[in-house]
Amino acid sequence: MFLILGLSFFLNCDQTDPEKFEMPISEDSFIQLYAKTLILKTRNLADDKKEEAIVKLLNKNGLTTEKYLKIEKYYQNNPEQWLKMLDKVEKTIQELKEQ
């Protein structure tokens, strides 16, 4: 968990230029992934187990933690897209909970 938070802080210092940023995965894939990571973060597991599960999930989807955080930062730097994405994430979480 500290690794993810540390990288998040490091990447927050870097501005992600929307004109130059290339998404390594589709928006729909990121939404699914983001929803699943949020669910994992709320599970009753030790922090190191949560981090391990998140890294495994990212790797399974062809992402490193750094790439994942850059995508997240891209959306955060684009508030309109961030809000739209979060609405979709909320719907996705509800769908996943119903399964």
pLDDT value for 19: 57
pLDDT tens for 3-57 read 454 444 444 444 445 556 788 899 999 999 999 999 999 999 999 999 999 999 9
CA-CA distance, 42 to 67, in Å (whole number)? 22
The answer as to whether 83 is a domain residue is yes
The answer as to whether 93 is a domain residue is yes
For residue 71, pLDDT over 90 is answered with yes
Task: Read off the tokens for 56.
Answer: 């495994």
The answer as to whether 36 is a domain residue is yes
The answer as to whether 20 is a domain residue is no
- Number of structural domains, the chain? 1
The sign one gets for the Cα dihedral 55, 4, 7, 12 is: positive
pLDDT value for 17: 55
The answer as to whether 80 is a domain residue is yes
The answer as to whether 14 is a domain residue is no
The answer as to whether 17 is a domain residue is no
Please give the residue range of the domain that contains residue 83: 2-9+25-98
The answer as to whether 78 is a domain residue is yes
pLDDT value for 23: 85
Q: What is the DSSP letter of 62?
A: T
The sign one gets for the Cα dihedral 18, 83, 87, 43 is: positive
| Confidence category of residue 99, pLDDT binned at 50, 70, 90 | confident
